Amino acid sequence: MTTTKVTTIQSNLSTKHRKQIQLTAKSTPWYNTMEFEQVGQSLLCAATLFSSSSSSSRTSKKRRRQEEEVDERIQNIQSAIQRVALWRTRVDQGRLPLSIESTSNLAEVMLNDYTTTTQTNSSSRSSSSYTTMSLRLAYASVIIRGVNGIADSIQRNTSFNNNSSNDNNNYYTNSVSNLCDRIGLPTWVVDLRHDASHNDLPSLQALRLASCTLLGFLGNVYWGVHERLGWEVSGKAVYLLGLYKQSVKAWMSGKDGKKALEALKIREEEVEEEEEEE
């Protein structure tokens, strides 16, 4: 009878660091990063619905292929909207981050607009129809809430406040236009939001364009940033895992095990310093 020797290598992280990770880590309503990214990509596809209208000059085969692609895109958008609704049931008071809510609401209104304006009958498309006025009101409501929410989040973010504590009142009196201009939101979208609130309701075409612009903005400043951060974290994790495997092999073989573990510890400390600097 043979016995297998099991060697346990404890983490080099300090107790303080492990407690810090436990305190800062939090659960998310999405299952994993892949689900989060898939939902974001599907919602952002709503901006391409009106740019994919078929042309009469195209052959029937190309039109049929394009219609199939649009139907698949619509199904993905509908699935993503339902997934966001599921996320709301998993958080306190059903409140998701502003960018997720705004992206989902914009995608839903644009999907309703597209299914109303298109004359193609398809089993994957909604049979309900909306009047032009109801669509304009829906667009205006989502744009107003989205832009105002962005401005409010900037006001609450102390990193944007370069004034002293005595000037806080002056800071909070900044206009929505100035606040949104700081993060690159087009001024004309903010002006359109003002017109929708206080003046004549903008046309359906203008509201569509503003929604596409706002959707693209959210894709850049929220979904795109999360995707890039995910790749960076994954790269660091894979690199450290490779070092760990090398250390374990060296430890089990008894060759330069101590040196390998020291190299792993040094690299972990370097990664911690890089994260603190970021």
pLDDT in tens, 183-203: 888 899 999 999 999 989 999
- Total count of domains within the chain: 1
Calculate the CA dihedral of residues 98, 194, 106, 54 and round it to 10 degrees: -150
How confident is the model over 16-44, as pLDDT tens digits? 777 777 777 777 898 888 899 999 999 99
Q: Tell which residue, 154, 159, 150, 152, has the closest CA to residue 215.
A: 150
How far apart are alpha carbons 268 and 166 in whole angstroms? 42
Mean pLDDT of 205-230: 87
Residue 18 lies in a domain: no
Residue 230 pLDDT exceeds 90: no
Q: Are 138 and 111 in contact (CB under 8 A)?
A: no
Instruction: Determine the pLDDT at residue 258.
Output: 62
How confident is the model over 130-175, as pLDDT tens digits? 888 999 999 999 999 999 998 888 887 755 455 544 444 444 456 7
Residue 211 lies in a domain: yes
Residue 91 lies in a domain: yes
Instruction: Determine the pLDDT at residue 235.
Output: 64
Instruction: Determine the pLDDT at residue 151.
Output: 87
Length of the chain in residues, anyone? 278
Residue 21 lies in a domain: no
Long-range contacts: 82-85, Cβ < 8 Å, 24+?
83/35, 83/39, 84/39, 84/43
Residue 17 lies in a domain: no
Residue 23 lies in a domain: no
As a whole-number percent, the residues of the chain with pLDDT over 70 amount to: 64
Q: What is the pTM of this model?
A: 0.70
Residues 6+ apart with CB under 8 A from 40: 80, 103, 219, 223, 226, 227
DSSP for 123-154? TTS------HHHHHHHHHHHHHHHHHHHHHHH
Residue 137 lies in a domain: yes
Strand, coil or helix: what is 207? helix
Using the CB atoms, write b or e for 108-125: b if 16+ within 10 Å. Answer: bbbbbbbbbbbeeeeeeb
Mean pLDDT of 114-122: 68
Mean pLDDT of 99-119: 91
Residues 6+ apart with CB under 8 A from 243: 263, 264, 267
Residue 128 lies in a domain: yes
**What is the overall mean pLDDT for the chain?**
78
Domain span at 272: 31-161+173-277
